[in-house]
Structure 1
Amino acid sequence: LAEACFRGGYIDSWGSGIMKIMDSCKAAGLPTPEMNEKEGGFIVTLFKDRFSEEELQKHGLNARQINAVQFVKEKGKITNSEYKEMNGVTDRTALRDLEELTEIGIIKRMGDKKGAYYEFVTK
């Protein structure tokens, strides 16, 4: 039956829907969905936007940090220079703010020294 539906154009190939869901969540800055098999069924759990302004305020983030998270949500990453420029802060303040976001587990540092940037932590 599935083969007939596939050939008729009613469904995509097996497994492609899961990848579309994961890609869509990543593109929207949402957490990776959890996928579990239970009692012969398959459960996909989608999570709300953990990077909404309301959720970020619960972590006690300042306005600069919230702006940075929204920037990463749009662009996929942020550098120290971008953080300093968008917030008008010193290198020391940028490093401190970004380190706090790292300690909370929202972002992680990638690369080294001049090539370093920050991106979301994925599960």
Structure 2
Amino acid sequence: MKIGRFGKTDDDLRFQEVVEGNAYQLADKTLEILDKKFLVSPITYQGLQRVENWEYPYEAIREVILNAIVHRDYIGAPIQISVYDDKLMVWNEGSLPDDLTFEDLKKKHSSRPHNPVLAGTFFKGGLIEAWGRGTIKIINECKKAGLPEPIIESASGGISITIQKSITDKNKHIEKNLNHRQNRAIEYLDENNTITNKIYQELCEVSKATATRDLSELVEKYQLLERIGDVGAGTTYKLIGS
């Protein structure tokens, strides 16, 4: 299996990795290498607890990789995973059965893997269901994460599935020159409804004066937050439009 990290286009290959091993090892190693080397782990907060998340929904990526392994034509080219700034694409050599369309993949369909023995082993090991629901699971996991529906199509003698990022209003702060404390506060507000000056102080380990200045900039300069309540100890802040 080959993994490549690109910029926004195929011309911008930044680094790559070849993953080798048996079928079980391929699945585990690929997920581990993607997590540690190729994907960013966005940080959110549950209360004051730091939580590292996958850049794309883990269950969707896992299902795509397992699906590629059991449907791979092992005589042809290796499975290729291309990671871009705004999407992740998995390509596998081969084609759909003649009586199966890409639209059929969006609903329950017959399970006909290219490698039935390997698929049976994965099924007995609890890795796959073997009910023709893999693509449905991928689509549903992306929808749950607020991402667009994955694109499944023919490409270069094979089949590719592309998972795209979703650019939401809440993430537009990345384009602004926020300091690391302000970015942390925005990430906190992605998971919590409001923030106070006191929580900001504890979250960012800063003085009240620094917290006040940072929060004022988020309200007045960057127009990302709005104040709720009178100025003072009872003031809370929330994302505009949330």
Name the TM-score class by shorter chain: 0.5 to 0.7
1:118 maps to which residue? 237
Measured after TM superposition, the shift of residue 57 of structure 1 is: 3.1
1:58-98 deviation digits (Å, cap 9, x = unpaired) = 21001100110111111111000000001110111001100
Structure number with higher strand proportion: 2
Q: Distance in 1 between matches of 2:185 and 2:233?
A: 19
The number of residue pairs the alignment matches comes to 76
Alpha-carbon offset, residue 121 of structure 1: 1.2
Structure showing the higher helix proportion among its residues: 1
For residue 108 of structure 1, the aligned residue among 226, 232, 235 is 226
Task: Report what 1:56 is aligned to.
Answer: 173
Distance in structure 1 (CA, Å) of the matches to 2:170 and 2:181: 14
Question: Unpaired runs of 5+ in structure 2?
Answer: 1-145, 147-165
The 1-side partners of 2:179 and 2:170 are apart by 14
Show structure 1 runs of 5+ residues with no match.
1-27, 29-46
TM-score, normalising length: structure 2: 0.29
Show structure 1 runs of 4+ deviating over 6 A.
none
Find the residue that maps to 2:187 and give its secondary structure. helix
Please list, as runs of the form range in 1=range in 2, the aligned pairs for 1:1-123 lying within 5 A after superposition: 48-52=167-171, 55-103=172-220, 104-112=222-230, 113-122=232-241
Larger Rg: 2
CA-based RMSD: 2.0
Task: Give me the identity figure in percent.
Answer: 33
Give me the TM-score of the superposition, normalised by structure 1: 0.56
